[in-house]
Structure formats: C-alpha cells, structure tokens
Chain A
C-alpha cells in the first residue's frame, strides 16, 4: 500500500494503482474521457488535470501511478480553470444535438458541463462539419461530429477485440473516427464501443431513439446467453419493459465487456415474447386457478399411486434454486420419479471458447450449476430419447415441462410435442409465448423470465453468481418456486374427491 495525499488528506491506496481509479474509489471524482481502466493510457482528452505542489505545470492524473509520497490537488482554482477550458475546447465544435441524442442523461460532456462549464461560450465561428448518422452495420450508428476523439473505441478494437476495425483518420480538427470507407463493422464485440463512448457519437441501433435514460433503472444480474456468465446490469423502465443490457465489471469473469450476442437476450423478457396469462386449451384463466387445475390431475395420480406415470422435463437454464425447488416438491413431496432433461453432460464436455474472448459454445447459462445440484440431490436424469420412447409407449399420462425462454431449447420441445399422445395431461411452465403456442392444447402457466429472477447460476469456470432483479413484469407470471409452493399448498388443502377430467 502507498501513502498518498489528495487535497490535503492522507490516504492509503494500492501501490501502482492508477490515480484516477484510486481517487474514484475514495469518492473523489477526477473528470476524464479518454481514460478507461480496461484500455491503454492515451492522455488525449486533457481533462484529468491535477496540481502537484512544486510543479507549476499541471499534470494529467491518468498517467500517474500511486506511489509513496505522491501529493496532488484536484480542486484548486487553477485546476478547475484548466478543466473548464479543456471542456470548452471539447465543446467548440460539438453539435448541440442533445434533444435528439441518445446519450443525453449519461453524456460525459453534459455531466461535467454542469459542474465546470463556462456557461457562456465565446465561440462565434462556424463549427466543423462532418458526417452524421453513418451506418456502420446492423448494430451501430456513428455520428462523426459528436465524436470528441477520445480514441476509446479505437483502442478497444485494437487491444480487446483485436479486429482493429476502427481508426482515426486525417489530422487536426478534420480528424474523424470510423471504419475504412465507412464499411460495416464485423466485430462481435462492437457494441462495447457504444458503452465506452462518453458521448453520443457511437449509438446502438437497438436502443436508438427508444427511451430516455433518466427513466431507466438498473439492477445487477448475469447474462444468460451462454456459459460465460458475463455480469450485466438490466436497464428497465418501471419494471414494465427492459431496454438494454450493459456489462458490469467483474475481473474474474468478463472484465468490463460482453459480447454482442448476449445483448439481445433481454428481448425474450419483453411483452412480445411473453406468455402473459395462464391458459388451458387456449382459454385464459388466473394463475392460481391454473395451479389448482394442475393439482387436481396430479392428486388423482398420487392418490391412486400412479406416480410412475408422471414425468418432468427440465433444462440447464434453470437456476440452482429452481432446480432444488423442483426436486424437493415434485420428487420428495409428490413422489415423482421420472425426470428428463437436456444433455447437460454433453454441453459441458463440448463447451469451449468460440472467439478466444468471452463467448462460449455452450448456450445454456447454468450447465455447471445444473450438474452440481442434480448430483448433490442424487437426481436420476433421463435423456430426450428415453422420454420420447416412454411417450410413444403411452406410459406417461402427466407431463410437466419446464420450458426455457431461449431458442436453444426449442428443438427438444418440438420433439416432445411430436411424441406427445393426445390424452397425456401436459403442464407447460415457461415465460415464452411460442412454447405455449406449441403446446396449445395443454395447461400453460406463465413463469418469470431470466432477468426477473433472483437466484444462483454457475458459469463454465464453476464461479457461482447471483442473478438480481427488483421487478416483475406481469402479475400473472410467477417464479418457479412460487408456482411449486402454491402447488404444495394446494396439495395440503382438504379436498373433495374429484374424478379425472
């Protein structure tokens, strides 16, 4: 640890830590644009000035590492004036696009302008004109005028994603950022540049013009795109609609980044894709009634000791808590013995990195957790083939399907549907509307999507991570634990004998 002095106060910080980071951890904000802890040091924006006693020339904090005896001042009038003028230089050619710019509300220029801006600009000359709304492909739009040339996106493509697709061309105030001849970007990590761009120069097409950021709330969770388990923040508006995912820093899992394939995974949580009400044979009913209906059929089979005619289908996207709840309720409480699932062993065996960076081949997000929990609970699992056989032999009269919200589970569900006899009572528990449509004749109970869950999943490195959520999008969609608890309560309620429908 090093003893440093900032603004006259003594602090102990890790030796060698970058001064901007150290100050941020101590709650002291040093303004900066071009510095990013996950990228190399550029020193281009000239915002992070600090004063060193004894040195009349201001220094930039991003090029300083904490060492014993370091003394800096960040809030002297000289520093404030320098930052004010640096911001002024940034703004003299910056278009005042705020009313139509997505970045408004999380814009580096806006943030510091309120603190240290000049407020009355003296720039009377014509601003530099550059291209606006340049289409860089499916994911990104570039506005070259808004760009403040901090170079973060260029350094990202050179150092992190290693495609070097972006560059800074020309000299002086004619400099522009972009691809060669404005070609489309092929990088699978390109939307990270939108995250790190301090202004609205790079904007995500998916989020463009969708929502103002001051209406959004963030909650920390984990991406369900693959077994990498990149940490993310879910950005939603009042719990009604999720607008985007942004990566969250985790030095052991994903550092500061996430791949582009994980970003659209929130879409399956939104209205268009969701089963919003329980259905029986296509007719809507309240969820608690659906649970009762389910229990009625189950009860008959339990009472007549025909639990060997009941089967359940699960998948490795379920959280460890969900799997535990399923086993404890269906197997331990009701005596169901047949459980079938996707081949998690194979997924784990075939799992490897797809691009030497983050994305992995195993598209299930909790394969390792699934294997651990099922093994700890001594759950015997059958394969899809075995389930199809049993269905074909008409040996199953009651099937409980837990359906994933992702595309990766659809193939198996289609096979199950094809093998399903007409008189088998089927209960589908899934957030996904398409799954309910596939099993349109059965009882469909809406469950919550991945980004509404609280629970634990385990990534490929066997690191346990917590999903987080503070919202529920639909009152009728319950968590798997809630559904099973309600089922259990229903079971324990005194009942008249009801014959099977």
Chain B
C-alpha cells in the first residue's frame, strides 16, 4: 500500500475547556514554548487516551511544531502510547532485580493467559500488556505497574487476585 492509501483519516481532536486551561498554565512555567512539549503530551494522552495521529496533529498545531518533531518525541519515550491500551495496562518490569525475582515468568503467564503481546488489547478491551525497564522499585521486586500504579512484591497469587479485581472493574489497592 502506498503511504496515501494506508493513511486512515481520523477525526480531529480538541482540548476540553479544563484541559485547555491546564495547557495554558503549563506554557507559563517554561521559558521556551517547546519545553512544555512533554507535559502537554502527558495532558493530551490523559485527555484522549493515547497519542493517535489526530492527537499528534493537534499537539503539533497548538505547539507550533511540525508533526515530525512531535512524533519524534512520542516515539522516543515509552510512556506515550501510539496504539490504544486496554482499560488495565499491565506493565511488567523486566530488569535485573525484578527479573531475578521472577517477573519474566509472571509476564509470560499473563501473555499466555490472555493471548496478547505488547501492543495488543484483549477483545473485551479490559487488558493489555507491556514490557518495561527498571521502574525504580528493585527493593520490592518483583513488581509491575498497572495504569501507572505500582504493585510491589508480587507473587503469582497476588497477581491473580489483582487480575480478578481489575476484571470486575474495581482494582485492588496496592
């Protein structure tokens, strides 16, 4: 497919009034407009769910940058998702102390159970999975993060309980 045929036309997006206010406040905190790109992308991702093409286009307009400059940043940092994630995004830490504590096994079991890989979402939209590098919680290894909340000192049993609670829509308190 040529680039033109492959391009899905997405509806343009716009900040809600609350988000717009937050955006304007962020701009005042820096001495250059471009410096606020990372916080603005966090805001956009919280607002729109993930950094789709339409979001990248919108952010490039309000930040007065080219889409390529915004996309460079989005593709570089792991926290900006280019594809939608599930309602509960399970991100397993795969480095050193956590890996020694057994997260690799937890991750593999999770993937096998739901039949998904990083970048995919379960059909009911509830779960997606990701591999992360060191999350800064090595003393409580093994650990993982669900929607940016840390769940530390995990065991297979604790993980199963957590999954069940997420499935019911009321995730466990870490």
Choose the segment among B70-78, B123-131, B141-149, B162-170 that binds chain A (4+ C-beta atoms closer than 8 Å). B70-78
Choose the segment among B3-11, B22-30, B41-49, B91-99 that binds chain A (4+ C-beta atoms closer than 8 Å). B3-11
> Does the CB pair A135–B71 fall under 8 Å?
no
A155-193 Cβ-contact flags toward B at 8 Å (1 or 0):
001000001111111110000000111111000000000
For residue B37, CB closer than 8 A to chain A, the reply is: no
Q: Whose C-beta in chain A lies nearest to the C-beta of B7?
A: A181
B residues 41-83 near A (Cβ < 8 Å) are 53, 56, 65-69, 71-72, 75-76
Give the CA-CA distance A178 to B80 in the complex, in Å. Answer: 19
For residue B2, CB closer than 8 A to chain A, the reply is: yes
Of the candidates B7, B53, B69, the one whose C-beta lies within 8 Å of that of A167 is B69
Of the candidates B4, B66, B71, the one whose C-beta lies within 8 Å of that of A163 is B66
Instruction: Report the minimum CB–CB distance from B80 to chain A (whole Å).
Output: 12
> Does the CB pair A169–B4 fall under 8 Å?
no
Give the CA-CA distance A163 to B68 in the complex, in Å. Answer: 10
State the interface size on chain A (CB cutoff 8 A). Answer: 19
> Does the CB pair B3–A166 fall under 8 Å?
no
**Total contacts A-B at CB 8 Å:** 43
A44-79 Cβ-contact flags toward B at 8 Å (1 or 0):
000000000000000000000000000000000000
B56: A residues at CB distance < 8 A: 180
Give the CA-CA distance A343 to B15 in the complex, in Å. Answer: 54
Instruction: Report the minimum CB–CB distance from A260 to chain B (whole Å).
Output: 19
B65: A residues at CB distance < 8 A: 164
Instruction: Report the minimum CB–CB distance from B132 to chain A (whole Å).
Output: 14
A170: B residues at CB distance < 8 A: 75-76
> Does the CB pair A166–B68 fall under 8 Å?
yes
> Does the CB pair B75–A169 fall under 8 Å?
yes
Instruction: Report the minimum CB–CB distance from B101 to chain A (whole Å).
Output: 25
B: interface residue count bin: 10 to 19
Taking chain B's interface residues, is the majority helix, strand, or loop, or is none over half, making it mixed?
helix
Instruction: Report the minimum CB–CB distance from A183 to chain B (whole Å).
Output: 5
> Does the CB pair A180–B76 fall under 8 Å?
no
A134: B residues at CB distance < 8 A: 3
> Does the CB pair B53–A164 fall under 8 Å?
no
If the complex has contacts A169-B76, A170-B76, A181-B7, are A135 and B2 also in contact, measured as CB distance less than 8 A? Answer: yes
Give the CA-CA distance A184 to B6 in the complex, in Å. Answer: 12
If the complex has contacts A170-B75, A170-B76, A171-B76, are A181 and B6 also in contact, measured as CB distance less than 8 A? Answer: yes
Of the candidates A165, A168, A169, A184, the one whose C-beta lies within 8 Å of that of B66 is A165
> Does the CB pair A167–B68 fall under 8 Å?
yes
Give the CA-CA distance A169 to B69 in the complex, in Å. Answer: 9
A182: B residues at CB distance < 8 A: 3, 6
Give the CA-CA distance A170 to B82 in the complex, in Å. Answer: 12
A residues 281-314 near B (Cβ < 8 Å) are none
Q: Whose C-beta in chain B lies nearest to the C-beta of A136?
A: B3
A168: B residues at CB distance < 8 A: 72
B92-122 Cβ-contact flags toward A at 8 Å (1 or 0):
0000000000000000000000000000000
A163: B residues at CB distance < 8 A: 66
> Does the CB pair A164–B76 fall under 8 Å?
no
A183: B residues at CB distance < 8 A: 3-4, 7
Q: Whose C-beta in chain A lies nearest to the C-beta of B57?
A: A180
A-B pairs with beta carbons under 8 Å apart, 29 shown: A135-B3, A136-B3, A163-B66, A164-B65, A164-B66, A164-B68, A165-B68, A166-B68, A167-B69, A167-B71, A168-B72, A169-B71, A169-B72, A169-B76, A170-B76, A171-B76, A179-B68, A180-B53, A180-B67, A180-B68, A180-B71, A181-B3, A181-B7, A181-B53, A182-B3, A183-B3, A183-B4, A183-B7, A184-B3
Lowest 8 A-B CB distances belong to which pairs?
A164-B66, A167-B68, A169-B75, A167-B72, A182-B3, A180-B67, A180-B71, A170-B75
Point out residues on B near A: beta carbons under 8 Å. Answer: 2-4, 6-7, 53, 56, 65-69, 71-72, 75-76
Beyond known contacts A167-B68, A168-B72, A180-B68: 12 more, CB 8 A cutoff: A136-B3, A157-B68, A164-B65, A164-B68, A165-B66, A165-B68, A166-B68, A167-B71, A167-B72, A180-B53, A183-B4, A184-B4
Point out residues on A near B: beta carbons under 8 Å. Answer: 134-136, 157, 163-171, 179-184
